[in-house]
Amino acid sequence: MKHDLQELRMKGPKTFGRQYGERKCACCQSPLGKLWNSGAVCCGCSHRICSMCRVGAMKWKCKVCHAYREVKIRSGDWFLEEKAKKFPITTDKYETVGEELLKTYNVLSHISVVPPTPPPHLDYQILGRSG
């Protein structure tokens, strides 16, 4: 299966030798139209591909990206990649809550914090009503 993928990559999307404004399929180099058969952009490699070189219905993929995805699914590599995204491997040692509090205290200790002071107590005489 990986051998087939390598063959597809050799035949796959090519971007060299294209002139600006030239609209051709990245895989088979067939000309693309403006309105009909204008090509779709592969959601894997972002190359513009014709209707003969793409796979899928909702999100178009070129044959190379589709084969690469199939190899990942059958080998189980997709699971390891998603696991690595969800649970990144840290080389640091594990911190305890106390260590984390000490770090935040050290960061905050350089900031001068003035404790709040109560408002001054003024002894006002309550004026009584004299009648």
| Per-residue model confidence as pLDDT tens digits over 21-73 | 568 888 888 888 888 878 888 888 888 888 888 887 777 888 888 888 888 88
Q: What is the CATH number of the domain that holds 58?
A: 3.30.40.10
Q: Is residue 103 part of a domain?
A: no
Give me 26's structure tokens: 């990245």
Is the Cβ–Cβ distance between 27 and 62 less than 8 Å?
yes
Whether the predicted pLDDT of 9 surpasses 70: no
Among candidate residues 41, 89, 84, 33, the one with its CA nearest the CA of residue 65: 41
Q: Is residue 90 part of a domain?
A: no
- Measured N-to-C along each axis, helices 77-86 and 63-75 cross at an angle, to the nearest 10 degrees, of 80
Query: Which residues partner with 55 through β-bridges?
Result: 61
Cα–chain center distance at 58: 21
Q: Select the highest-mean-pLDDT range: 40-49, 87-96, 108-117.
A: 40-49
Structurally, how many domains does the chain consist of? 1
- pTM over 0.75? The answer is no
Residue 14's domain comprises: 2-85
